[in-house]
Amino acid sequence: MSNLAAIDDAVAKFKAILKEQLTRIEIMKQGGDWIDLETVSPLVIGICGGDGIGPLISAEAERVLAYCLREKLSQGAVEFRRIEGLTIENRVAANKAIPDDVLAALKACHIILKGPTTTPQKGDKWPNIESANVAMRRELDLFGNVRPVRVPSLGIDWIFFRENTEGEYVLGSRGFDVTADMSMDFKVATEQGTERIVRLAFEHARKNGKRRVTVVTKSNVVKTTDGRFSAVARRIAADYPGIVLDEWYIDIMTAKLLDPERRHQFEVMVLPNLYGDIITDEAAQIQGGVGTAGSANIGKRWSMFEAIHGSAPRMIVDGRADYADPASMIKAVAMLLAYIGHAETATRLEKALEICVQFERNVVITGRSTGATAKIFTDYLLSWLASPDMDATHQRYLEATR
């Protein structure tokens, strides 16, 4: 193919992408109301195990969720539904990121607790199907990825609001080789998509008494898309006069999260998709590893809660799946509980996690036979949830970190 023909072909592909994105903008403009979960009965929670270590750690998270919602389950006010079929093998067989029957089952729920899924990498044995996470966020319009990180001993109490439906990821499988010598990928930022994630961050700050929102971009170099994200953040900030907006570039921000003189000043952070994915892994490592951090994916009609890490296929190959850390999925359970109106139960679960992971540490997950299994860790955690001494023990933990 000549260079001119290659350009014409690339332009045609890009034109199709632009049409799709402009249609998406029109849908966002139509808005729609948030679902009122207090009026829903029964509240249907889908348990979707995913693949790799996902089904195992999801089962442990389900045990914790069932314990915390035992009264609601017995009353019929809450219903659990198991959703199978999001394995890499099933997705490849259907040649879809999410098979149609699985997507229909997900949409029949109000809330989803989802285990990790495998995303094919170019050059591996799987065909180039889209990430199930990216597809789910798009199909259910889960625009707000929320990831908290808390380490009282270091003065860290952060919450990250990552835009979930734009940036590089939304078109991650739509790039192409223009010629044998050049490949192109795409990044998209819209006024509507940026506004709703920035406003979600500011609303959280307002409702929780936070005084600072930090927007993280690379707008000095990526001037158009990141520039739009930055400009929208400044515009929205004017609606919240009691909250300070500051801006950091993603490269220096990764350093400042490690700076003991600076990091305690950060509270609420809002970022485009890719930057949010990267920096929240760094933040989770400070907390104790990606296995300790949960994630919420918020939309007006549906919301999904998950671990922030992947499906760890190497653990499956090595026969170490039983030793996978369920703490991240259990953290997601705490976020789910808070979201559906069980704030006190969520706080109690958070306290139990901090005791088990950061304070007492009598049962330690290492990912190998040198540590505990996921089931043993969950049993340990449940024993603390049921313990009358938990609040006093957590208070000793807080005092020890001052």
Residues forming a β-bridge with 213: 245, 268
Per-residue tens of pLDDT for the chain, all 402 residues? 789 999 999 999 999 999 999 999 999 998 888 999 989 999 999 999 999 999 999 999 999 999 999 999 999 999 999 999 999 999 999 999 999 999 999 999 999 999 999 988 777 888 888 889 889 998 999 999 999 998 888 999 999 999 999 999 878 778 899 999 999 999 999 999 999 999 999 999 999 999 999 999 999 999 999 999 999 999 999 999 999 999 999 999 999 999 999 999 999 999 999 999 999 999 999 988 887 788 999 999 999 999 988 899 999 999 999 999 999 999 999 999 999 999 999 999 999 999 999 888 899 999 999 999 999 999 999 999 999 999 999 999 988 877
Q: Is the fold of 32-142+299-402 the same as that of 143-289?
A: yes
Q: How far is it, in rounded angstroms, from Cα 321 to Cα 312?
A: 9
b/e string for 117-128 if b means 16 or more Cβ within 10 A?
Answer: bbbbeeeeeeee
Look up the pTM and report it: 0.87
Q: Over the stretch 378-390, which tens digit does the pLDDT of each residue have?
A: 999 999 999 999 9
CATH of 32-142+299-402, one of 3.90.700.10, 1.20.120.80, 3.40.718.10, 3.40.50.970: 3.40.718.10
- Fold of domain 143-289: Isopropylmalate Dehydrogenase (3.40.718)
Spans of all domains in the chain: 32-142+299-402, 143-289
- DSSP string for residues in 279-298: HHHHHHHHHT-GGG-EEEEE
**Angle at the Cα of 157 (from 152 to 162), degrees rounded to 5?**
150
Structure-token pair, residue 151: 């380490």
CB proximity list for 52: less than 8 A, separation 6 or greater: 116, 117, 118, 310, 311, 312, 313, 315, 316, 321
